Structure 1
Amino acid sequence: MIKILLSLLIATSTLANVNFCNDELGKLPILQDGRIKPLTVHAKEVIHHLTGKYKAKGYSSVDTFCLLSSKAFGLEAPFKLETKIEHKNAKELLGGKSSMALDDLIDENVTIRMAYQKEKVESGYKKELNRLLNKIALYQDITSGNNWQLPVKMGNEISWEPVTNFLTKEKVDALAQVSSTPFKDVFAKAKKDYIEVKGEKYLTEFLFDKLQLTKIAFALTLIGLAALVLFKKFGVALALSTLTIIVQTVYIALRVYISGRAPITNMYETVIFSGYGALLLSMIIGHLKNEKTYLYMGLAYNLCTLMMITFATNMVSPSISPLVPVLRDNFWLSTHVTTIIMSYGALALSWILANTILFKRAFTDFKVEDETYYNDLIYTTLKYGIIMLAAGIILGGVWADYSWGRFWGWDPKETWSLIVLCIYMAILHGKYTNWITNKSFSVLVAAAFMSVMMAWFGVNYILATGLHSYGFSQGGAYFLGTFFAVQTIFLILTVIKSNHKAA
């Protein structure tokens, strides 16, 4: 069939005169990874997964995906996709190369698989080999045409076929009799047929992708933080913060509408939700306490989370994927996980202000009265964070009993959540009883947040074991190690500097 279609292309000069690979195909509905979505969304995801970029040699992700899929018809793409080889042992295995064309990497498939099988220990090298094997499999799936499933109307039902079966000689030939753009018309008819049967809901994701709301929220947060620091009028920063909340609320609402579930099922969603929740909480507390410092804490942390999802896309993927069975309970998902992530956001507010105090104490003329005042603000956020964390752990136990038949099993995620709770309860109690001095309080609060990062990221990226295996990810070990190192060095330097000033 492929040869017949290729002959048709050449005979009709369609290949020479019509390039059916263009951005107009971006709105096509496709079935992939267990759900229906616009082609542009899927194309971005797979091209970014393969190369770390969203484009190839000036071609958009849709063009790139389409041209690669055209290889299934014997056509050549006008470029070669390259993928990075990160681990030093993998580089040595593949001739010392730090990147390699995927077409050439396929030739090394056997070599990589044999090396993978020889590795008995789950090391960084083995994970890199597994990533390369997955990329080879995905690339072959795309170039064979099987990664592009298109809708076919069968009465009042929709079935799905790979592009190689979808573009039949009969379809193209029939449309070629009445149109000079038969391929474009075939795809347009497929889209129209799907919408007639299933509706246009899937196009919400196309709009969602085009709006780039997280980038707008990032800009608003950055400007809002600058306005808070530079301008005396609090109203400007408050207005920008309100706009940020509105933009992020729309973003989260659209994501919930598209996925049909709470927006806290993967690392990307928990990061953005924690920043959003922290900013919202800081605005509420700030209003109740009539204190604008809370807004500074919320904006600063929200900026951190938005920077992470914007620039660390290899570590936190924005892809919406199907849920594993244990997560398919929206009640527990919306209560347990949401409460835990909100608690992390509240504790992050205390981390922001604690580090700010340390910096001011070490490098500015910071008065003892000011430190006492700001420590009281930290104390308030800690109370909110601890209450929500304790509630989240209890809710998680109830869910675990419902799903796994036991309330508590010392799973790494459970254990580290309990460790975080114990650490912060000790700090809170120590502060209340004056066992912890004003000077030590901010140091301990800043250091304690490393336990949150371990529970949140460390279990997923470093330990990667336990019943919470659905939350595991790759690529974050260096980030977490860097965070721990920078925070530790900052603590040591500011404490030494403060002691030197006091002396």
Structure 2
Amino acid sequence: MKRRLTMISFGLLILTIMVLIIASFIEKAEGTALVHKYIYGSWYFVGLWSLLAISALVLLLRYYRGRCPIGVLLLHIAFGVILLGAGLTYLFSQKGDLYLYEGEATNTFTSKDGKTVALPFTVSLESFEILYYTGTQSPMDFVSVLRFGDGESEQVSMNHIGHHQQYRFYQSGYDEDQKGVRLSVAYDPWGITFTYCGYGLLLVSMILILVDPRGEFRQRLGRLSQVRKAVPVLLLPLLLLCSTQNASASSKSTQPGVMPPTQAEQFGQLYVYHNGRICPMQSLARDLVTKLYGKPSYKGLTAEQVLSGWLLYPSDWVEVPMIRVKGAQMRQLLGTEKRYVSWQDFFDESGEMKLSKALEALNTGHLPEAEARDVLALYEKYNIVGSLLSGQAIKMFPIPEGESIQWMAQADRLPTDLPEDEWLFIRRSTDYLTELACTHNYDGLTKTLEKIRLYQQKKAGELLPSESRFQSERLYNKLSHTLPLGIALILIGVLYYILILSQRLREQNAPKLIKRIGLGLMGIAALYLTTCSTLRGFSAGHIPLSNGFETMQFLALSILVVALLLSFHSDLFLSFGMLSSGLALMVSVIGESNPQITELMPVLGSPLLSIHVIIIMLSYTLFCFLFFNGITGLVLLKKGKSIQQLTHLSRLLLYPALFLLTSGIFIGAVWANISWGRYWGWDPKETWALITMLVYALPLHQGSLKAFRREKFLHTYLIVAFMTILMTYFGVNFLLGGLHGYA
């Protein structure tokens, strides 16, 4: 009976995993509405989870209660409570949309299936306001003040829920005239309470499992060799890691016109409105050159020189082949086989734009998705250059408008009440800079750039970012060179892996000098990444975890830090750390092709989101080590060597890795509930995070699943299981999409 119940319980778990995997791909093919109606919202899906919970608890209480640690028992009960909460939400909750127009009251809302649902009270919109980031027109928050029939009022904003009689209201949208708002309404009197209780029990149970002196985790931790004191290593200057990008031009006669390096750097210190925020001109230059060329510099010219070149010498730069074209099909559209084209290459001999037919097919829906994406990317570069040539790309002139500032470019339509001298200063500034540069009057060029910066400071005043934030961003732009560091870590990591593995095959440890050098290199890389992340976060005004580039940078740093700690137990972590961190940095290069430091969307400003991302990234770090540890274990097994130490380490790391992932998932659920009005929505990334958690939970059940007691099977499983991590982070982004496409 015990064996049969075990097979039923774990069979249901595996079946659940398979259903979730299939459902995520059906959603991509057939749409969200279908999969939510026929799978996630179906009675048999609810029944599957119910049977899984009941069978697991019966198995645990009937056959393992007497020898089951309290933490393990409480862990399974916690999941049962969470599922109970989800069931209550499924059965009794109501969700919908509420539209309010200022001054008008209502007592109904529209449910998700389009039905009108009565509210037990009336509600009206008393006021609505958009709050902007300082000195910009970028929304920071949307604030609605609601008035209820009993006289009470509630403020609703992003990350701030309005409550009234167990109904919750979330900011969703607003009318252009700012007189009407759309709110999400959620009524869930029982489900959230039980679910949050389950989250609390889950946290307590995981702590109990980790601290239980008789538990497997503490037993294995106690058998670790004593951690030795770290050997102090002298750190080399950070700039040794940064490949210089400021080499002088190799042949002035063949290059287009540019500002001299001194004045170009001064140009980079101007303020500019870019991506919804005020930043150094240097940042706009880096983003623009990276977008067009794929690198933050062009043939020895700095990004500031390139941008100023387009500004002052447009007739030269339209002939420069610096626009990168991805894909043979796009190059074919432009009639070239070269990877880089000039602005003029976008036009045929008659002056017609070569992308016009492709754009027409795109607009009428006759282009395949992949080709449409490539056409849009190429057309975006075309438009960027077009805005440069028209004088509308560089919004560096602040015009006061009430309590805020409107940043304008030279060619923008200026206010009619602008003083004539100010109007002339803005309209003629670029022409005057061009004249000074062409006549080599560099002293005059310097003074004019100084006047523009003084004008910016006078007009914008306290609305400008502080000087410390401004200079931090400039320093970050100079220091941040992800690609060379990633390549260096991978190459050194491969060398160390070969060296250490060969020593293991001879049943020897790596020489102490080699280990100290590796620790020093990892320490330098960690310090460099810490410095870059700190500068980026300080200049942006938030923890740098808001996009794929930043999370991969944090993952690379986390890997190095954890590897430094674990390397005192096993020298294999020297190579694991370098390889994993280098690979993470190489992946971040994909995001660095568009690495703008932007203001966060209002909904992403919650501290819970940062905690959620940090914990998830730390769990990925440990899973990455389990992956490399598994590969090493299989290699050594094939050579007939003992891998007891590696197996012991895998079983040990599996606990914190899985518990961090679990904690991250449910912290994310709390954040989603606060921000979106639901703690779980079966978004593809949520689904795959749950799949990953369930997949990695199986090896912890070696008492019931005898296969995991075998070393070869365990390491093979951990290698294959890592594919769920890759699918969760990358596969969902590139294949499945969803609300978490930015994560």
Equivalences for residues 22-421 of structure 1 within 5 A: 22-56=264-298, 58-70=300-312, 75-77=315-317, 79-95=319-335, 97=337, 99=339, 100-105=341-346, 107-119=353-365, 123-152=369-398, 160-164=407-411, 167-169=426-428, 181-194=443-456, 197=461, 198=464, 199-200=466-467, 201-212=469-480, 214=482, 218=486, 219=488, 229=500, 231-233=511-513, 234-286=515-567, 290-309=569-588, 312-313=589-590, 317-329=594-606, 331-362=607-638, 365-367=639-641, 370-421=642-693
What is the alpha-carbon distance in structure 2 between the residues aligned to residue 299 and residue 141 of structure 1? 42
- Quote how far apart the aligned CAs of 1:414 are: 0.2
State whether residues 264 and 273 of structure 1, in contact with CA within 8 Å, keep that contact through their aligned partners in structure 2: yes
Q: 1:346 to 1:121 in 2, by over 3 A?
A: farther
Displacement of 1:446 in angstroms is: 1.1
Instruction: Specify the structure having the higher radius of gyration (Cα).
Output: 2
Give the residue type in structure 1 aligned to 2:447. D
Residue 427 of structure 1 corresponds to which residue in structure 2?
699
Between structures 1 and 2, the one with greater strand share: 2
Using the aligned pairs only, state the percent identity.
25
- Matches of 1:97 and 1:216, distance apart in 2: 28
Change (3 A) 1:273 1:56: closer
Deviation at 1:160, TM superposition (A): 2.7
CA contact (8 A) 2:616 2:664 kept: yes
> What are structure 2's unaligned runs of at least 5 residues?
1-256, 348-352, 413-424, 501-509
Distance 1:399 1:180, change over 3 A: closer
Bigger mean CA deviation after superposition, 19-28 or 395-404: 19-28
Shift of 1:300: 2.7
**1:444 to 1:429, Cα distance in 2 relative to 1, 3 A:** same
1:459 aligns with 2:739: no
Q: Give the 3 Å change call, closer, same or farther, for CA 224–439 of structure 1 in structure 2.
A: closer
Contact 2:489 2:582 in 1 (8 A): no
User: Separation in 2 of the partners of 1:215 and 1:316?
Assistant: 11
Deviations 1:77-133 (A, max 9, x none): 374244344345444544465544333326124223102123357621111111122
- Provide, for residues 471-502 of structure 1, a one-character-per-residue CA deviation record: whole Å limited to 9, x for no partner: 4xxxxxxxxxxxxxxxxxxxxxxxxxxxxxxx
Contact 2:472 2:536 in 1 (8 A): no
Decide whether aligned partners of structure 1 residues 42 and 360 sit closer, same or farther in structure 2, where only a CA change above 3 A counts. farther
Aligned counterpart, 2:718? 445
- Supply the AA of the counterpart residue of 2:394: W
In the TM superposition, residue 393 of structure 1 has moved relative to its aligned partner by 0.7
Q: Distance in 1 between matches of 2:378 and 2:430?
A: 37
Partner Cα distance (1:128, 1:398) in 2: 37
Could you tell me whether the CA contact under 8 Å between 2:264 and 2:304 is conserved in 1? yes
Alpha-carbon offset, residue 278 of structure 1? 2.2
Structure with the larger RCO, 1 or 2 (CA within 8 Å, 6+ apart): 2
Q: Which runs of 5+ in 1 are unaligned?
A: 1-16, 472-503
SS in 2 for 1:202: helix
Cα distance in structure 2, aligned partners of 1:267 and 1:150: 29
Shift of 1:52: 1.9
Q: How big is the shift at 1:412? A: 0.2
* One-letter amino acid of the structure 2 residue matched with residue 211 of structure 1: L
CA gap of 1:317–1:157, structure 2 versus 1, over 3 A, is: closer
Letter in 2 for 1:105: F
Judge conservation of contact 1:30–1:36 (CA < 8 Å) in 2. Answer: yes
Asked if structure 1 preserves the Cα contact closer than 8 Å seen for 2:394 and 2:409, the reply is: yes
**What letter matches 2:644 in structure 1?**
T
How far apart in 2 are the matches of 1:180 and 1:454?
55
User: Over the residues paired in the alignment, what is the CA RMSD in angstroms?
Assistant: 3.5
**Aligned equivalents of 2:704 and 2:474: distance in 1?**
52
For the residues of structure 2 that align with 1:306 and 1:159, how far apart are their CA atoms? 37
Greater than 6 Å deviation, 4+ residue runs: 153-158, 170-176
TM-superposed CA distance for 1:25, in Å, is 1.6
Which amino acid counterpart does residue 343 of structure 1 have in structure 2?
Answer: S
Where is the helix percentage greater, Structure 1 or Structure 2? 1
Measure, in 2, the Cα distance between the counterparts of 1:170 and 1:214: 36
Decide whether aligned partners of structure 1 residues 142 and 379 sit closer, same or farther in structure 2, where only a CA change above 3 A counts: farther
Deviation at 1:314, TM superposition (A): 6.4
Q: Which amino acid in the other structure matches residue 727 of structure 2?
A: M
In the alignment, the residues of structure 1 paired with residue 550 and residue 391 of structure 2 have an alpha-carbon distance, to the nearest angstrom, of 31
- Give the TM-score normalised by the residue count of structure 2: 0.54
Distance 2:280 2:616 in 1: 32
Summarize the Cα distance change of 1:173–1:231 in structure 2 as closer, same or farther, 3 Å threshold: same
Q: Deviations over 1:349-391 (max 9, x none)?
A: 11122122334444xx341xx2222122122222221111000
- Give aligned pairs, total: 442
The residue type equivalent to 1:351 in the other structure is F
